[in-house]
Structure 1
């Protein structure tokens, strides 16, 4: 059994937690507004006497009649009542669910403007920290139908099961029929998953299903909120065989993931290491995005003999680093992921080591960091503020930051730059097609190095 990491996205049963705080009342009288830009969340932004109005599913140049519905970010969020004119950058969305599904925000935006907007999110985040002069490269993109990992929400309603993603700005679940973002093998499982869950969920009961496509087949974790009974185990084992999936696991009331049917080893290959992936382990969303990240990290650290890989996961970056570095030390907070690295490190004759450590509570210290010629860090969305402060003092010659949050990356970059580092370049990477999310790789060096 392994502790779960990110299998339920902080919620159980496909519902989002809602705040009890009262949203300030807004004047619901209709407005006619002109959309001038796209905001950080993917909504169109208009101006109403100096007050921003955020309107989902609009593009610059749209003129729309809207009804304000909520106060947000110093302005109001509004719903569309009608279009008076459409902007020149509007295109037909490729998915029938667009506008009701909460997964995509920007399928209606033409490709050139979409890519410029994604890059702009990185540029703006850096500029807010006084780093507007940093070179920002072209966006490296993952194609459609490339996302290999997703979390489906499910609920039993009467005799039926709804299964898919949460609807836009709602706890309701959209019953998914297609998805141009996901790999086809994941979408193809939906009808069979509905039939299975119909036998496992009681009336109004809910669950999440984490699905990941690997070379061995699809790997699933059922996040059920209760312990698995004998009937559950038998059904899952039979279903796994019928659908030829690689592995099925169960997460109950505790954050423990238990394999139920492991039909084939679930492994991924990185840098010559075949790594056995724990059920529910974090992976990059697309293989293409992962390859882009690794390529840029390797280019930046090619001359480093001793490298530390912080927030290392299962070794996605650590093992490729070992192709050129004499030693690689991987640091990760999750015990199951550290064990996965250690199981595969033997093939590298002691050149790859791993350590379990909470880098927020106990970042690598200055003396520890000074053992390395390069440090790579790839933290969660909250960033790596404690570790960035230690890196700033240690003065490691090369630092590479990988981030899924431009704002916290820019904050940590400011810490490094203020201590004498130069942020040489930043590459945006789009793994989450048509969403507001953008990842990046940034390369730092000390002045004179």
Structure 2
């Protein structure tokens, strides 16, 4: 693709929703459209001339129809075009953006009478969902998505239960047919963790209880011949005057055990995160600690809902066996601005000391247009020799336009 064609595509992707707005107005109210586009420019530098940059643009088209009082149909497509990427085999390649077309949502939902005052919501197909063991994770052009059967029941105002079967799921990059196990296609869990011969899906159950000052979240997912993952998160908010802000304490533990006689039969890993949060109006501050068991690394084929998760560079390897991580996170929102900062420092069994700091600034320019800049810096030091010192930098620009 020539340079002027790339520029034209970027402009068209940002203006595409406008072209659809007239057509959308002609449909009945039962059919809802959501149209958006994103321009993403990224750069990464690992030092020693190992650096690269890439730019990509995407258009997301979603539609939802209320088929009846109980039934809903939804579909969503994401089209990504790689505008440039200098030298696919250097640092730019791992930015994981590529030309792709994906279908992250295609589902039918039905609200059945039964458990709870609002019944049970049953969904079949592909859907962008968020659970404690699989939180919504959108860091590029598309969010991770699940394919399977899902049930949600709100038994009372404070108690919610989710359960289901995940056959396959997508990941966050838009790279297709790359060397990484993460790409835009839908794959089974075994394929994501290097055990492609295992074709089993995932069965899960999640229970969430929220009271005024206390919350409990228990969950478990099981993959036959791979492993079982059980998690428990407890949170308590200390009583205080509302004008003085609120302090809360939380503990989140995960235990994994290998199943069957496959590649992970001897797998045994656990983790614990402790977090202290202070929140005053639109400002929040988190500080905490995480420990991974020494026997094996924690398997994270999904992202976790840990506070120390989802950094830009993944430079601290915070889920590696024996890793001990300290984190601090601050978020402030005012009018159209959102500012965030995250700092992690990790120590490892081989005496590596790794750290990363990420900064985010987002501005909502209008109801349709927003701009976001993300910057990250990571450092790795071996105690025994300075020659092993490594550092990396990451810089990203997002421009989002939506109706």
Could you say which TM-score interval applies, normalised by the shorter chain?
0.3 to 0.5
Q: Quick check: which has more Rg, 1 or 2?
A: 1
Greater relative contact order, per chain length (Cα 8 Å cut-off, separation 6+) = 1
TM-score, normalization: structure 2?
Answer: 0.33
The structure carrying a bigger strand percent of its residues is: 2
The structure carrying a bigger helix percent of its residues is: 1
TM-score, normalization: structure 1?
Answer: 0.31
